[in-house]
């Protein structure tokens, strides 16, 4: 079971409701879509045919300090239900800020079996994360079709450059399918 201890205490209440929704839906194998009117962001999670246990997470809207926890919480819920490979579609991302890169990096760490970075550490933690990027970080998480804004942020950041980017879902699925991942 995932505990909310990975988040600062003041964020536990905020993330708790989102986590419970994803956990129930992920266990039921449903397609999950959550819309937040304040941030105008939409996240959709769907199963990838033929590549169990793999999911596709589509993000529409900004990926920033207001929304980054949603991505981390959704990934934790999926991981807790047995999903071990994740495709993240960034085509609908309108802006990708440092906190969004932090979320993507943490999701990759989670799926690589590494410990999550603490958001309370701030710049010191982010700097340390860029200095110790595990080689297996990009094996189980693939980024798909980043928007121009997202691609620029990914290219300008060491956190973003450690993740593999594919032009479409089919190409990413082929890369995952051909990978010799040990379960």
What pLDDT was estimated at residue 133? 64
Q: Based on the structure, what is the number of domains in the chain?
A: 1
User: Quick check: is 183 in a domain?
Assistant: no
Burial of 155 from C-beta contacts in 10 A (0-12 / 13-18 / 19+): exposed
User: Quick check: is 25 in a domain?
Assistant: yes
CB 107 within 8 A of CB 114: no
User: Quick check: is 4 in a domain?
Assistant: no
Band of residue 2 on the pLDDT scale cut at 50, 70, 90: very low
The per-residue pLDDT for range 62-90, each reduced to its tens digit, is 999 999 999 999 999 999 999 999 999 99
The per-residue pLDDT for range 107-166, each reduced to its tens digit, is 999 998 888 888 887 767 777 766 766 667 778 899 999 999 999 999 988 777 788 899
Give the HSE-up count for residue 87: Cα atoms under 13 Å, Cβ half-sphere: 27
CATH number at residue 153: 3.30.750.24
User: Quick check: is 124 in a domain?
Assistant: yes
User: Quick check: is 58 in a domain?
Assistant: yes
What pLDDT was estimated at residue 50? 75
What pLDDT was estimated at residue 154? 92
The per-residue pLDDT for range 30-72, each reduced to its tens digit, is 555 554 445 578 999 999 887 778 999 999 999 999 999 999 9
User: Quick check: is 1 in a domain?
Assistant: no
User: Quick check: is 2 in a domain?
Assistant: no
Q: Which domain range does residue 58 map to?
A: 9-178
């Amino acid at each position: 079971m995932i505990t909310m201890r990975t988040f600062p205490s003041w964020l536990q209440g905020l993330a708790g409701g989102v986590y419970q929704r994803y956990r129930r839906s992920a266990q039921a194998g449903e397609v999950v879509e959550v819309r937040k009117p304040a941030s105008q962001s939409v996240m959709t999670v769907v199963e990838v045919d033929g590549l169990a246990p793999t999911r596709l997470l589509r993000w529409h809207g900004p990926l920033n300090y207001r929304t980054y926890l949603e991505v981390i919480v959704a990934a934790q819920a999926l991981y807790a239900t047995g999903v071990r490979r994740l495709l993240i579609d960034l085509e609908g991302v309108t802006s990708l800020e440092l906190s969004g890169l932090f979320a993507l990096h943490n999701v990759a760490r989670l799926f690589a079996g590494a410990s999550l970075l603490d958001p309370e550490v701030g710049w010191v933690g982010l700097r340390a994360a860029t200095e110790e990027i595990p080689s297996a970080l990009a094996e189980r998480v693939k980024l798909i079709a980043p928007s121009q804004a997202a691609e620029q942020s990914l290219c300008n950041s060491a956190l973003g450059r450690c993740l593999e980017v594919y032009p479409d879902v089919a190409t990413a699925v082929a890369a995952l399918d051909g990978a010799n991942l040990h379960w």
